Amino acid sequence: MQVVILAAGRGKRMQDLTKGVPKPMLKIKGKPILEHKINMLPKEVTEIVFVIGYYGEHIMNHFKHYFGGRKVTYVFQTDLNGTGGALFLAKSVLRDKFLVMMGDDLYHKKDLNKLIKHDLAILGREVEDDSKFGIIKTNSKGHMIEVVEKPKRSKDKLANTGVYVLNKKIFDYDLVPIGGGEFGLPQTMAKMSKDYPVKVEAATIWHTIGNPEDLIEAEKIIHKFEEKQRATEIVKVAKPKKILKITKIKKLNGN
């Protein structure tokens, strides 16, 4: 199974912390955010696809083409046109079912393990202030209907955490524009959900890193996300004999 990690943005709200460094490479307890995320991946994930942009060479130099028993592939995003645009750039390197996640949030392994049991799924987390997040609306079967960005008032309190289980059928749908030249992945998934059920799972823990204060808080709570890896969960993949292909696409043109 592959995971696509979206890590192309700078993270302007981090201010000077991201001068010359992509936000996902900022450190928590001496390790980049991305390294913590990789340690939390399910054992079924054997390949990491990074979508990189702003100072992406920092990510490439750290993880190279093979990291922690997993193959690593890179896709370059030069036109920052949203999460939907980022995923669609990786279309040519993806196979079958795959996991998608943001490059700068923290998730727990047990929540990811729960999510990948489904063919199509999205991970949500209950929040008190729904006006700060994209809120997932569900039907009586617990399937996704839509995601409403930062509603003023909503009875639904399940925020979209930015983790998805998808397959290549997503590329059969036109990307949904969300303004500012960007295309939304969850909004495109909502379109797909009209034809294929998308299961909504609730996360037990989730931490967003959007500003310097969030990074300081991550230092205090990172232990809540980490768990010892059992010997049976160690990923064993033969080391590739040749350098993997790097895909570079300057701009998304449709599907």
Residue 90 has pLDDT above 50, yes or no: yes
List domains and CATH numbers for the chain: 2-122+162-170+205-227+237-249 (3.90.550.10)
Tens-place pLDDT, residues 139-197: 999 999 999 887 777 677 899 999 999 999 999 999 999 999 999 999 999 999 999 99
Residue 217 has pLDDT above 80, yes or no: yes
**CA dist., res. 97 & res. 113, Å (int):** 14
The arithmetic mean of pLDDT across residues 117-144, rounded, is 89
**Strand 144-149 and strand 106-107: pairing?**
unpaired
CA 193 to chain centre: 19
**CA dist., res. 130 & res. 149, Å (int):** 9
The number of beta carbons lying within 10 Å of the beta carbon of residue 249 is 16
The arithmetic mean of pLDDT across residues 39-53, rounded, is 97
Q: Output the pLDDT for position 162.
A: 95
Residue 247: pLDDT band (50, 70, 90) is: low
Tens-place pLDDT, residues 68-85: 999 999 999 999 999 999
Residue 224 has pLDDT above 60, yes or no: yes
DSSP 163-185: EEEE-GGGGGSPPEEEETTEEEH
Query: Pick the residue with more confidence: 187 or 133?
Result: 187
Residue 128: pLDDT band (50, 70, 90) is: confident
**CA dist., res. 159 & res. 137, Å (int):** 9
Q: Output the pLDDT for position 137.
A: 92
Tokens of 165: 């289980």
Residue 236 has pLDDT above 60, yes or no: no
Give the whole-number percent of the chain exceeding pLDDT 90.
76
DSSP structure class, residue 143: B
Q: What is the pTM of this model?
A: 0.86
